[in-house]
Amino acid sequence: MSGKPVRPCTRVGKYELGKTIGEGTFAKVKFAKNVENGNYVAIKILDRNHVLRHKMMEQLKKEISAMKMINHPNVVKIHEVMASKTKIYIVLELVNGGELFDKIAKNGRLKEDEARSYFHQLINAVDYCHSRGVYHRDLKPENLLLDSNGILKITDFGLSTYAQKEDELLRTACGTPNYVAPEVLNDRGYVGSTSDIWSCGVILFVLMAGYLPFDEPSNMALYKKIGKAQFTCPSWFSSEAKKLLKRILDPNPLTRIKIPEILEDEWFRKGYKPAIFTEEEDINVDDVAAAFNDSKENFVTERKEKPVSMNAFELISRLMMLSSSFCLNSIQNGIVKRETHFTSQRPANEIMSKIEEAAKPLGFNVHKRNYKMKLQGDKSGRKGHLSVATEVFEVAPSLHMVELRKTGGDTLEFHKAFLQKLFIRVTRCSVAF
């Protein structure tokens, strides 16, 4: 068996695809380069047949059209939409400063002034989205990205609803339970704007406290606490912050504070600066319509270039997207990420074998293909079964990069229950990294 992994380079239209930087149930996100102008972007890739099979086409078309209409400095921008015979490609602004979640996980709670600054940006963005009839419905720190200048950007409108009238109640229970409003959980219908405001309140609490206001081991206990808004603010919260949180985390959506009132709140107004930006007029959504119809006239082509080991472009993508990653030995320093990488001078097939040998006793089912490996946990954790994607790349002769990326389950379990134990077992297996 050769120690060199086969890594064909894929081109889609004018974009050269790089590494996978995110995975979900319905989509995969890849780092990409526009070969015409050299700009870097992120491309969300959806399986066309999967969308059709689940009758999601019209809803997805509406959601993507809604995303294109959003033009705000604190919202990830969608550049264009393309399609091939088998895939739908959504070209997005690349935000490479990591998740706000990572900042909290690494450094703990934020000082009140810093938390307020992020909350300003969050409310500005949510207010703008609501004014355009777009309701996110899954606001949480993991969906709040930071750019290279530390500016907050809301991402993932996959659960948003477009053009809801204020008197029309939504009935789809979605989102992450810890951040979801009580009216969403009780299945009696809810208004998208007020449920988003609740989620913003939970986010503000997490930013200042470093932990969730509502967190229980069982969903039943969690829903009960959320339904009654049973939470306690830490002693270090200012009295003004406590008052605002009480008004945001009001279990009654009819009396819950609205965004115009938040903008006038005494605590909120400290250091507040409205977002300054130029709105685009006549936003064109023709590419969205073209991507979702059956006409082959506008399809882009996918083509594989000759197999290569990790090339200069891929190295750049890793430096940009993994700049906030770390070697395994920094796990002990409390850094929490969704992926990690390390290098090894051992043959690629030996690295794969040793990781497999170490993972199986930890309760992981192993599926291998070439120099990729999927590890699936056999026990359900806090957020379902933990799953990890592993891949080995050749950087140079006799030097390989190993990437481990969480694709399912809880991020903290990925580190505490997997990476730390795996590292110990791999070390015992005498693979010199």
Catalytic residues: 138
Query: Biggest alpha carbon distance in the chain?
Result: 67
| Token output for 266 | 């005494």
Tell me whether strands 152-154 and 144-146 are parallel, antiparallel or unpaired. antiparallel
Backbone angles phi, psi at 139, to 5 degrees: -75, 125
Rounded Cα distance between 252 and 248, Å, is: 10
Determine if residue 77 is labeled as part of a ligand binding site.
no
The 8 Å CB, 24+ separation contacts for 403-406 are 403/19, 403/339, 403/340, 403/341, 404/339, 404/340, 404/341, 405/20, 405/23, 405/338, 405/339, 406/338, 406/339
From the centroid of its chain, how far is CA 329? 25
From the centroid of its chain, how far is CA 23? 8
Cβ count within 10 A of residue 172:
11
Q: Which residues are annotated as a binding site for ATP?
A: 44
Annotated binding site: 44
